[in-house]
Amino acid sequence: MKTTTRIVALTAIIGVACFVAPVYPGGQLNDENGSGNLIGEHWELGAALSNRTPGDGRTLIIYFAQGTASARIAAIQNAHASWANVVAIDYDDVGHTLPHAPSNGAGGGTPDGYNTHSFEFTLGCGGTLGVTPTVINANTGQIVEADTFYEGNRCVRWSTDGSPSGNQFELEAVAVHELGHFIGLSHSGEVDSTMFPSISNGSGGLSVVSLEPDDNSSVTNVYGQDGGDVNVPSGGISGRVIDGSNSNDGKVCALVYAFSVNEAPITLFSQAYVQVYSGSVIGASASSNTSGPTSGSYTINGLPDGDWFLLLDPIGNLVSAGQVSNWCFNNSEAGFSQEWWNGIAESNGEGCLGCAVPVTVSGGQVTTGIDFLTETGTCNTTETPEVSCADGIDNDCDGFADSEDSDCQGGGGCTTPAECDDGVGCTDDDCVSGSCVNTPNDANCPDDGLFCNGTEFCHATNDCSSTGDPCAGNETCNETTDTCDQQTCGLNKDPCTTNADCCSLNCKNGSCKGN
């Protein structure tokens, strides 16, 4: 059986959580198999594996590295219980101590057949709190081993009592997130979901402890529901994202959002991203082919009965294809506008909320045939606001070009700065000659007190962000001393003789390699 290892990390947001671009898709981790088809990671609940309880295919045996503090074990056991209340997977996690040093899967190490939680390694002290490598059958997506590694260096202060303060992180919250990856889930773009890719320190991270509707619908869509402990609505919406001039041209990896019409009204596209909606969930188009009658398909599961607005966002606008997966990097398309679904006569160019037509979900059924028609090549995300008003191109991807765009209408645009709020906390919003101007201001992003994530700055769409590891490629960032220390081991592609010559990598054919 050919296997491969996938690693997904959770990063920290220090202080007040700022918005981070959504990561597609909400649901399973997906990648290509050996035949080029899209597969989803999952545990085969009836499979006979050594890391399962004998005779019970749905119970995973969980081991803790030797010396793991009892308070940390208890916090992780609570995280196990959160998922077990939703989905038909149980955890045998009492009294199992790993009989040897954990395999450093965080660096692409050799699988050992044990499902493990460990604090034995440092993850670089650059803001990553945990990583979960999953070993999968490369042809079917079946998970055969999963390991979670938490930052073991004192640069991260863990709380286990449910009352994190200052720069502490609640371990149970991080464990609940990592366990989502443990059973095959990807990151979600829903800001208040457990599977959102970032978490706040202090009390701001406590909300992640509880699973949200997006988390519940994602996991039950893969494994089914566990005896009614949590009621996951069975309704949903499905359709396709296709080229308006060619119904066989599906747009894969585009994001489709559902917002309840009963939530606070949305008047700007930006508000749809930065405002947290308790009733909204996320679906995304995902197809193993880019052409044909089923290409560009998406399904949003777990929707209760009611009316929903659907928003389409092309990949590359707020999230890059590289953040998604190698498959999306190779197959996704951009260059078409954000838009709301506007009914049976759906077409490209609905740049206003007033153009949106609600989709009704009733009787717990999936409402089908809700297709978005795009016009590839009609927009460029190059101007905010649009200033090129005579080129026939939608330069800010709001669905309007030239004189149809309010940015180009002189007095027909804004009148006060308050109308120009883009929902990004660190930008200075102003109205200039009827056009909104949103200027990133680094002064609005205070230093977060960490050395190894670089300098804080204002990102035009992602709010306060950090420049990243300040150290050179041959250096390791030391958060304790705020220094860049010279590495004595090899990095990727450096020459080596044994694994000991490589920094958490493997020595293969004389070179350090990740997998």
Per residue in 228-271, pLDDT (tens digit) is: 567 788 888 988 888 877 778 888 777 787 877 876 555 555 54
Task: Let me know the angle formed at the C-alpha of 416 by 415 and 422, rounded to the nearest 5 degrees.
Answer: 110
Q: Are residues 112 and 146 in the same domain?
A: yes
Cα separation, 21 vs 255, in Å, equals 12
Q: Are residues 251 and 196 in the same domain?
A: no
Q: Which residue has the higher pLDDT, 468 or 275?
A: 468
Max CA separation in the chain (angstroms): 73
Average pLDDT, the chain: 73
Q: Are residues 192 and 242 in the same domain?
A: no
**What is the rounded average pLDDT of the residues 162-182?**
88
Assigned domain for 83 exists: yes
Residue 202 sits in a domain of what CATH number? 3.40.390.10
Does 25 have pLDDT greater than 50? Answer: no
Question: How would residue 6 be classed by pLDDT, with cut points 50, 70 and 90?
Answer: very low
**What is the rounded average pLDDT of the residues 483-506?**
71
Assigned domain for 432 exists: no
Cα separation, 169 vs 200, in Å, equals 7
Gyration radius of the chain's alpha carbons: 23
Q: What does the block give as tokens for 415? A: 């009148």
Q: Are residues 243 and 187 in the same domain?
A: no
pTM, rounded to two decimals = 0.64
**N-term to C-term CA, the chain:** 16
Q: Are residues 200 and 256 in the same domain?
A: no
What are the Cα distances from residue 418, in Å, to 429, 436, 438?
8, 10, 11
Question: How would residue 17 be classed by pLDDT, with cut points 50, 70 and 90?
Answer: very low
Q: Which residue has the higher pLDDT, 466 or 443?
A: 443
Q: Which residue has the higher pLDDT, 436 or 152?
A: 152
Residue 363 sits in a domain of what CATH number? 2.60.40.1120
The whole-angstrom distance between residue 60's C-alpha and the CA centroid of its chain comes to: 25
Last residue of a domain, one of 374, 408, 425: 374
Assigned domain for 414 exists: no
Q: Are residues 197 and 284 in the same domain?
A: no
Q: pLDDT at position 360, please? A: 94
SS3 392: coil
Q: Are residues 278 and 217 in the same domain?
A: no
Last residue of a domain, one of 348, 374, 400: 374
Least confident piece of the model among 133-137, 173-177, 224-228, 231-235:
224-228
Q: Are residues 171 and 197 in the same domain?
A: yes
**What is the rounded average pLDDT of the residues 479-484?**
85
Does 12 have pLDDT greater than 60? Answer: no
Q: pLDDT at position 363, please? A: 93
The pLDDT tens digits for 268-322 are: 555 454 443 334 555 556 666 667 788 888 888 888 898 988 888 776 555 556 5
Q: Which residue has the higher pLDDT, 349 or 15?
A: 349
Q: Which residue has the higher pLDDT, 299 or 19?
A: 299
Assigned domain for 181 exists: yes
Does 117 have pLDDT greater than 80? Answer: yes
Cα separation, 361 vs 270, in Å, equals 25
Does 367 have pLDDT greater than 90? Answer: yes
Assigned domain for 182 exists: yes
Least confident piece of the model among 158-167, 311-320, 347-356, 373-382:
347-356
Q: pLDDT at position 473, please? A: 60
Q: pLDDT at position 204, please? A: 66
Assigned domain for 187 exists: yes
Question: How would residue 354 be classed by pLDDT, with cut points 50, 70 and 90?
Answer: low
Q: Are residues 349 and 260 in the same domain?
A: yes
Assigned domain for 119 exists: yes
Q: Which residue range(s) make up the domain with 312?
A: 235-374
Does 75 have pLDDT greater than 90? Answer: yes
**What is the rounded average pLDDT of the residues 175-201?**
79
Q: pLDDT at position 193, please? A: 74
Q: pLDDT at position 77, please? A: 93
> What percentage of the chain's residues is helix, strand, coil (to nearest 5)?
15, 30, 55
**What is the rounded average pLDDT of the residues 354-370?**
88
Does 15 have pLDDT greater than 50? Answer: no
The pLDDT tens digits for 81-90 are: 888 888 878 8
Question: How would residue 73 be classed by pLDDT, with cut points 50, 70 and 90?
Answer: very high
Give the residue among 321, 332, 360, 333 at the shortest CA–CA distance from 344.
Answer: 360
Least confident piece of the model among 90-104, 292-306, 359-373, 425-439:
425-439
Question: How would residue 2 be classed by pLDDT, with cut points 50, 70 and 90?
Answer: very low
Q: pLDDT at position 70, please? A: 93
The whole-angstrom distance between residue 55's C-alpha and the CA centroid of its chain comes to: 35
The pLDDT tens digits for 134-164 are: 888 877 888 888 889 998 888 888 999 888 8
Does 449 have pLDDT greater than 90? Answer: no
Contact 312, 341 (CB under 8 A): yes
Contact 219, 83 (CB under 8 A): yes
Per DSSP, 511 falls in state E
Q: Considering its fold, how many domains does the chain have in total?
A: 3
Q: Are residues 286 and 181 in the same domain?
A: no
Assigned domain for 217 exists: yes
**What is the rounded average pLDDT of the residues 96-110?**
71
Q: Are residues 195 and 252 in the same domain?
A: no
Question: How would residue 227 be classed by pLDDT, with cut points 50, 70 and 90?
Answer: low
Q: Are residues 212 and 291 in the same domain?
A: no
Does 172 have pLDDT greater than 90? Answer: yes
Last residue of a domain, one of 374, 405, 440: 374
